[in-house]
Structure 1
Amino acid sequence: RIGQIVAGKRSITADTDLRLCRFFGLSNGYWLRAQAAYDTEIAEDALEDQLKNIRPWNSGSGIGHRA
């Protein structure tokens, strides 16, 4: 399992996080947060052009509001 994670062939799961945190004396969730940060960075790189085309929602734009 660890070899696959290190090789980038497998992601950290809650099960693996709990085991690694116990072994290294870390707070539960440490490795899951690191995995989420890594996944987000990869997604940002992959979606860079598409994300540039998304306009943020403006709550004052009138969408869903009645006059």
Structure 2
Amino acid sequence: MGVPAQRIGQIIVGKRSITADTDLRLCRFLGLSNGYWLRVQIAYDTEIAEDALEDQLKNIRPWNSGPEMGHRA
């Protein structure tokens, strides 16, 4: 497959992220569609970010909801 075992091990324990290169190699090896592991990585990264930013995200109002956008209550 051309990916060092150490890299796979680091990915498994969360010390390294999936790259496009690793995704393509893993997908080819495992018979999955290209991008599968990148989508998993993005979902994981998003979940971690949501947890870290939870309080800050609660204070962000949607862009189009409010009088400052020309809407009247």
TM-score (norm 1): 0.87
1:50-61 mapped onto 2 (5 Å cutoff): 50-58=56-64, 61=69
Q: Return the letter of the residue paired with 2:44.
A: Y
RMSD: 1.3
Mapped partners of 2:25, 2:31: distance in 1: 10
2:44 paired residue among 13, 38, 63: 38
1:24 paired residue among 11, 19, 30: 30
Structure 1 runs of 4+ aligned residues shifted over 2 Å read none
Deviation at 1:7, TM superposition (A): 1.3
Q: Which residue of 1 is the match for residue 54 of structure 2?
A: 48
Sequence identity percentage: 89
Q: Count matched residues.
A: 62
More helix by share: 2
Ranges in structure 1 where 5+ consecutive residues have no aligned partner = 63-67
